[in-house]
């Protein structure tokens, strides 16, 4: 994956979570219904739901009226948290990922503050948007109101 490029997995996870958040009365929704509503493949959603279950962002309900629902109110999820569950950390450049990459210039690099600042701004922005914000906005009409 290219740095700072959100994959289809992250984008579709966000769409799946908005679909669940939009369910009246927190009713469970089948993956098949999400796939049809969002025009996504069921097989790909099965991969994504496994990640969301592992991170306890959703719960699975068995039975005739089973499916998936959010594990907490939509207002308590951020876009950052959902993307992080599917994408991992969102670093703008490799050298900020100290777990995977060791940069010999880390202490001397004059550009590192730029990348750390970008990372902070992106994280703050994504953490400022809740799943409820997206679920309550008509499709294509959400706008970031507070500015950066």
Is residue 102 one of the residues assigned to a domain? no
Q: Which residues pair with 69 in a beta bridge?
A: 59
Is residue 3 one of the residues assigned to a domain? no
Strand, coil or helix: 70: strand
Where helices occur in the chain by DSSP H, the ranges are 8-21, 31-38, 42-54, 79-87, 112-127, 131-136
Is residue 100 one of the residues assigned to a domain? no
Of 60, 88, 57, nearest to 72 by C-alpha is: 57
Is residue 105 one of the residues assigned to a domain? no
Determine the structural domain holding residue 68 and report its residue range: 8-90+130-136
Count of domains observed in the chain: 1
Is residue 70 one of the residues assigned to a domain? yes
Judge residue 71's burial from the number of C-beta atoms within 10 Å of its C-beta, 0-12 exposed, 13-18 middle, 19 or more buried.
middle
Q: What is the pLDDT along the chain (148 residues), one digit of tens a residue?
A: 345 688 999 999 999 999 999 988 888 999 999 999 999 999 999 999 999 999 999 999 988 878 999 999 999 999 999 999 999 888 887 777 666 667 777 778 898 889 889 989 999 999 999 999 999 877 666 666 554 4
Is residue 43 one of the residues assigned to a domain? yes
Query: Residue 85 sits in a domain of what CATH number?
Result: 1.10.10.10
């Amino acid at each position: 994956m290219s740095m700072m490029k959100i994959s289809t997995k992250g984008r579709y996870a966000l769409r799946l979570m908005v679909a669940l958040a939009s369910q009246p009365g927190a009713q469970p929704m089948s993956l098949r219904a999400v796939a049809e509503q969002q025009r996504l493949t069921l097989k790909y959603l099965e991969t994504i739901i496994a990640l969301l279950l592992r991170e306890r962002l959703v719960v699975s309900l068995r039975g005739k009226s089973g499916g998936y629902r959010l594990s907490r109110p939509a207002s308590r999820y951020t876009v950052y948290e959902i993307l992080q569950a599917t994408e991992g950390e969102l670093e703008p450049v490799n050298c900020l990922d100290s777990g995977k990459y060791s940069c010999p210039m880390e202490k001397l690099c004059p550009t590192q503050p730029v990348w750390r600042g970008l990372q902070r701004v992106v994280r703050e922005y994504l953490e400022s948007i809740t799943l409820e914000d997206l679920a309550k906005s008509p499709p294509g009409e959400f706008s970031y109101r507070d500015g950066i």
